[in-house]
Amino acid sequence: MRGSLRALAALALAGWLVLPVFPLAIWSVAHGWRFPDLLPAETSGAAWAYALSPQSGVLQSFGVTTLIAAATTLIAALIGLPAGRALGLHRFPGRNLVFLLLLAPAIVPGIAVVFGLHGILLRLGLAGTIPGVILAHLVPVLPYMTLVLAAVFSRFDPAFEQQARSLGAAPWQAFRTVTLPAILPGLMTAALFSFLVSWSQYLLTLAVGGGRVQTLPLVLFSFVSAGRNDLAGAIALLYILPGLLILAVTARRITGRGAALTEGLRP
Amino acid sequence: MTRLTLHGLRKSYPGRGHAAVHGLDLTVERGSLTALLGPSGCGKTTTMKLIAGLITPDAGEVRLDDADITLLPPERRGVAMVFQNPLLFPHMTIAQNVGFGLKMRHLPPAEIARSVDAMLARVRLDGFGDRSPVALSGGQQQRVALARALVLQPKVLLLDEPLSSLDPGLRDEMRQLIRSLQQDTKVTTIVVTHDQAEAVALSDHIGLMLDGRLAQHGPPETFYDRPATEAVARFFGGVNFLEGRSERGFFHSGLGSLALPDHAPQGPALLTFRPEAMRLGPGPNLRTGRIDAVTFLGTQTRITLSVAGVALQALAAPDAARALKAGDELTISLPPDVLWLLPTG
């Protein structure tokens, strides 16, 4: 009974996640697909051929999006590690205020701040550049990174570091050999979240990039609004690729025994 | 072998009323094992962390022989500390744990492996090298932690309550292991403990810390025979205290005049004597009292009695106290050489 329930739940979840992908996949190879046909009358590889060709710029966008997401994640980790450590290990005046400010990007709608942000980056000469977009992406990404790492560090015993120091490890050595292995599952969770949050930014990229930084969601949207369902389907499949890849590689680490996700987020 | 000197060491934590350590002076002789003893919260662990360099003092000095190491980072001091919990690195094997410090020194792997094997044998854990820390019992983990520190041949070894996390049966074994390893390696060692029996059994010297200060420092027996203050005497189980005045070889108090040992200081004082030093039966400084209670404690029997309205406690061998019961009259004597005068107030 429990087994069959579980199987049903798994099926439902899989359906929920996978079913929306099917129309995209079909669109990407359809050559005219009209209501009320269940399947397109003819198929064609033209959309894929164009999407993967240099002329469309899709692959280039894929590269730019990856670069921005990776750089954003890396910078967020460099900021989030010390910040999460301070928040997780120490009680200090103003700690709750810091938490509140960190949560702010999740509470305040992006569109409310994006023009102010654009103005600042314009003055800095960073509007319309990749570094500018990375800076803008840090706004929604940093809270994820820092809050997850704060939870991870709150369960880390800094006595391990002191032990390492007293056995002759310099600060960097102690971090690399003792702290990093202990926090790695949580750090990976935070990095995955960060990567995907940056990867799926539309509004911030559009406003700050000013059309000059073409990430995948922007390209996708432009084809969607142009009514090119075949290209939109192909690009959308490319777009969900990293999420699926990450999920496939880390599913066990994230949800299984000793999982990174539960490990990192347990109070 | 290295001499460790603490001079005027002071450390306070923000938000706490009093300093954790204030004005601590202590010398640990080359190759000796000193127990740093005191109740919890007296500043023992803070002192250890100051010596290890894990925290910096507000004032004062830490010296190894002639070198001032007060501001040196922990990894450059040659001081290895073993914490109360074994703190074995969970993602490393036992051998990797023991070899950790040598690896930090970038020694060749073959040399590390040799030292680690030899050290594991010393703590009787040969063949455990490939296991994971979680596969070991608490006592074994503590031995690995000890091996991990000793393999570095530190100038000073610090052990913070090394026995407190162990079952009583294992404590004796671990205590003997610590003692024999210390005597073999002659490493200058400080053991922190709150257990006076442990300190007495383990160490050459005891430094008793009370309220962030060193209350007394010396061989274990001096804490019983010649405590420096009432607090020291009480910490070591002293229960008999009499206020009075020492004049020309006699102590005048509620017990009348008691003959003192030669060269006793003059003036107002607090007289103390060990409960086990009180003799049942006639002898010098004879007094008669009435027994209030007799409590069998296993290896000893405690007798509570009143002499001229003064409450006293004696500890006697169970055989000698077998016939006694509450309400009986009892004759006791207090030989002058068991009497000790403390400063008042």
Do B104 and A173 lie within an 8 Å CB cutoff? yes
In this predicted structure, what is the pLDDT of residue B345?
A: 67
- For the stretch B310-345, pLDDT in tens is 999 999 998 888 888 889 999 999 999 999 999 886
> One digit per residue, pLDDT tens: chain A, 267 residues?
677 888 898 888 888 877 888 888 888 888 877 777 778 877 888 888 888 888 888 899 999 999 999 999 999 999 999 999 999 999 889 999 988 888 888 788 878 888 888 889 999 999 899 999 999 999 999 998 999 999 999 999 999 999 999 999 999 999 999 999 999 989 998 999 899 999 999 999 998 988 889 999 999 898 889 888 888 888 988 898 888 888 777 766 655 544 444 444 433
Chain segment A67-104, per-residue pLDDT in tens: 999 999 999 999 999 999 999 999 889 999 988 888 88
**Nearest of B243, B317, B326 to residue B278 by alpha carbon:** B317
Number of Cβ within a 10 Å radius of residue B300: 17
SS3 B139: helix
Q: What is the pLDDT of residues B31-81, one digit of tens each?
A: 999 999 998 888 888 999 999 999 999 999 999 998 999 999 999 999 999
- The complex scores an ipTM of 0.85
pLDDT given for residue A137 in this prediction: 94
C-alpha B192/C-alpha B238 separation (Å) is 22
So what's the pLDDT on residue A262?
A: 43
Cα B239 to the chain's mean position, in Å?
A: 19
| Cβ within 8 Å, pair A166-B52 | yes
Query: Which residues in chain B come in under a pLDDT of 70?
Result: 16-17, 345
DSSP states of B71-122: TS-GGGTTEEEE-SS----TTS-HHHHHTHHHHHTT--HHHHHHHHHHHHHH
The pLDDT assigned to A255 comes to 53
Amino acid at A51: A
Query: Which residues of B have a CB under 8 Å from any CB of A?
Result: 49, 52-54, 73-75, 79-81, 83, 85, 87, 89-91, 100-101, 104-105, 148-149, 152, 158
Inter-chain residue contact B89 with A168, CB threshold 8 Å: no
DSSP-derived secondary structure letter, B332 = E
B85/A170 Cβ within 8 A: no
Beta-carbon separation of B73 and A170 below 8 A: yes
* B205–chain A nearest CA distance, Å: 24
Q: Which residues on A lie below 8 Å from B101 (Cβ)?
A: 167-169
Q: Which residue in A159, A160, A165 is closest to B74 by CB distance?
A: A165
Set of chain B residues whose Cβ sits within 8 Å of the Cβ of A173: 75, 104
